[in-house]
Structure 1
């Protein structure tokens, strides 16, 4: 269990109010508005992403950034950042990750300037890398950091679903509650993944992301 201090830090880092712009993205959901039309179909999409999609890969790299930060291994941190950037299937997804990573690093610089965040700001830093680095600095344990990362992702997409489908607030909270076991399962798997096991099968997300940037009108950022 995290200490009280680490728990407060985790709540702050994973909060939907963290000013990194996550609320402005739908990660392809807006392009699927004619297909994801209910809480059940959104639940299915989220579960498939947790089992096979890019968020699983991101969280695994986040943990590697966490460990590299603890070891003060900036070379490994940079290598993992470049590796994750290279795995982004669309420009939209890569730009989202870079923008959120940059926003988080700037926020931390304003709160607690340190050498690693200063160095990361000199490159295009993915959000997962920034999140792992901050979690290590704030002494949040690996398991809590992973479930916090996944929970924050799920909260954001459920929020997008509430606007797009639309869903009621209660339905959104029920959906988040029903994802508990899936989030726990994904967390345990991610923490045990070896480097050679890092992969994702997110072609549905890739196609939705490519379609999103060409939509005639959008609620969410592209």
Structure 2
């Protein structure tokens, strides 16, 4: 990548990107309250499992398809995959999160790059976060593997930061966790690039879906969902 491509990726994957990612724990909060996750080892196991089998893999696959649709100037495919991403959400909480973050990102992109306004109109509202991320990565000509790694790393950083606040963990422990899962992030990225549309777009995370649903009625919460 060029320096500009790299800087664009760092901006896109930054925790300071104003899309509200910090306000979600993706069900982690209820798991901590119930004692399912209460130490760094358990948090790492949860993240490893999600990267190997979970819904984040479908999210990343949608990002890849959004990226390729923009590259091919196939806006019909882009709209199709946005609808597919909405239909694939296991709970209303996860769908609301994806829509809120995606709508925030697509509005930001139009402000930064007015040429994307026509793309935003085709995708419409709501726009899923993975779709908006793929649009940005393709428009800024970020290498696809690098975009995938950035997408996964941003997701994992947000989940670890939630764990740091909830369990709680020290900031250094959180950084050690992020370093430890680096090989899993790399393997997951390679796997996603090989997924076929017809038979391999699936996930198996019952615990993740149940924790997301339970979070809605949790007595006290720091996070939205």
Quick check: 1:134 aligned with 2:121?
Answer: no
1:38 matched to 2:39: yes
Answer yes or no: is 1:212 the counterpart of 2:211. no
Could you tell me how far 1:118 is from its partner in structure 2?
Answer: 3.5
C-alpha contact (below 8 Å) 1:65/1:132 kept by paired residues:
yes
Note the alpha carbon deviations across 1:76-129, whole angstroms, 9 max, x for none: 011111111111010000000000000001111111112212433x32111000
- Determine the structure 2 residue equivalent to 1:156: 158
Partner of 1:27: 26
Measure how far apart 1:7 and its partner are.
0.4
Name 1:165's counterpart in structure 2.
167
Question: How many Å separate the matches in 2 of 1:118 and 1:171?
Answer: 43
Q: What is the count of residue pairs matched by the alignment?
A: 220
d(CA) in 1 for partners of 2:75, 2:160 = 35
Aligned to 1:96: 97
Deviations along 1:163-216, whole A, 9 cap, x unmatched? 000000000000000011000000111111111211000111100000000011
2:28 touches 2:163 (CA, 8 Å); kept in 1? yes
Separation of aligned partners in 2, 1:68 and 1:39 = 39
Could you tell me which residue of structure 1 aligns to residue 86 of structure 2? 85
Q: Do the aligned partners of 1:109 and 1:118 also contact (CA within 8 Å) in 2?
A: no
SS in 1 for 2:22: helix
* 4+ residue segments displaced more than 4 Å: none
Match of 2:192 in 1: 190
C-alpha separation between the residues in 1 aligned to 2:206 and 2:80? 25
Give me the whole-angstrom Cα distance separating, in 1, the residues matched to 2:163 and 2:218.
17
- Write the distance in 2 (CA, Å) between the matches of 1:72 and 1:48: 35
Alpha-carbon displacement from aligned partner over 1:55-84 (angstroms, at most 9, x marks no partner)? 011101110010001111111011111111
Superposition RMSD in Å: 0.8
Structure 1, unpaired ranges of 5+: none
For residues 170 and 85 of structure 1, the distance between their equivalents in structure 2, rounded to whole angstroms, comes to 36
